Amino acid sequence: MSVETTTETAPVPKKGMNILFGLTLLGLLLFLWLLLGLSTTSFWTANNISNLLRQGAMTAILAVGQTFVIITAGIDLSVGAVVGFSSVTVAWLLSHGVPLWPAMGITLLVGVLIGAFHAFGIVRMGLPAFIITLATLTSLRGIGLLVTNGSTISISNEAFTNFSRADFLGIPSLFWMVIVVAIPAYIFLHLSRWGRYLFAVGSNSEAARLSGVNVNRTIYLAYILSSTCAAFVGLLLASRIGIGNATQAEGWELQAIASSVIGGTSLFGAVGSVHGPLLGAFILATINNGANLLNVNAFVQRIITGVLIIVIVYFDQLRRRGSR
């Protein structure tokens, strides 16, 4: 039996339900914008909207990469550390005279290698995804601090730093990067056989293997995509703040996971989309932005995020039980 034939039977999300859920998330996002617009006088200002789009954009890209991994029933806790380490990498390369484009290419390659290392630990060494990515989180922070001697590396390349401050058609350049990532990600996940493989592995890896899916290769692909997205966000963050700092993006892995879960991705695998995590990221960014405007304690914001994850995962469990 051919691979093409058998993988057609791999479980994929129902398009009608995906569209309905996506519209629900969009409606929630618009409702939050309307509510905050009525509750504050500064929400709809150009500076605030621009800042919201910039911050939400980086979380959204991280969430897309995280979604690929979660669909396979895995997890990547290292993405925040990869972002910080990537900012150090590109800053170090630029400070040592490496031209801009090669420096960015090498930084993305570092992301690819980190993802491949994660997959190697899972596939060849038999380590749980939680353990290997948690170890990388700690190690990358340490390596970055060692390289910078606990300090930061300034970036003097104006072409690089000006990008994050630029707008195109009145929309921040960082937000356009979400589109650049989202379109190929959507095609990959929803319109290609490789996307079906991810869902198949997340549903039942042994059944997928017996159906002809190369499970190991699929896991490699998922973790490489996640780390590459994180490295790309590291470039964007370095451009925005103008420095390389290993401690940047601390806690962003939780933001990415929360955005993915809010967007309908199941932590049990085999359920997810691209548009859901994107909307989830901007819902989360809107909540944080609104909380800041309303002078809500930053610690309370973390509590809100945690409660959201608990509630959504609980209802996901109920949905799974009801579908059996």
In a domain, 43, yes or no: no
In a domain, 209, yes or no: yes
- Cβ-proximal residues to 165 (8 Å cutoff; 6+ apart), any chain: 173, 240
In a domain, 144, yes or no: yes
Domain count, the chain: 1
CA-CA-CA-CA dihedral for 188, 260, 232, 300, to nearest 10: 170
In a domain, 164, yes or no: yes
Q: What pTM was computed for the model? A: 0.90
Per-residue pLDDT of the chain (324 residues; tens, 9 = 90+): 344 444 444 444 555 556 777 888 899 899 999 999 998 888 999 999 999 999 899 999 999 999 999 999 999 999 999 999 999 999 999 999 999 999 999 999 999 999 999 999 999 999 999 999 999 999 999 999 999 998 999 999 999 999 988 898 889 999 999 999 999 999 999 999 999 999 999 999 999 999 999 999 999 999 999 999 999 999 999 999 999 999 999 989 989 998 999 898 988 888 899 999 999 999 999 988 998 888 888 778 778 778 877 887 787 777 666 665
In a domain, 15, yes or no: no
In a domain, 25, yes or no: no
- Cβ-proximal residues to 166 (8 Å cutoff; 6+ apart), any chain: 172, 173
Full domain range(s) for residue 279: 54-323
CATH (domain of 198)? 1.10.3470
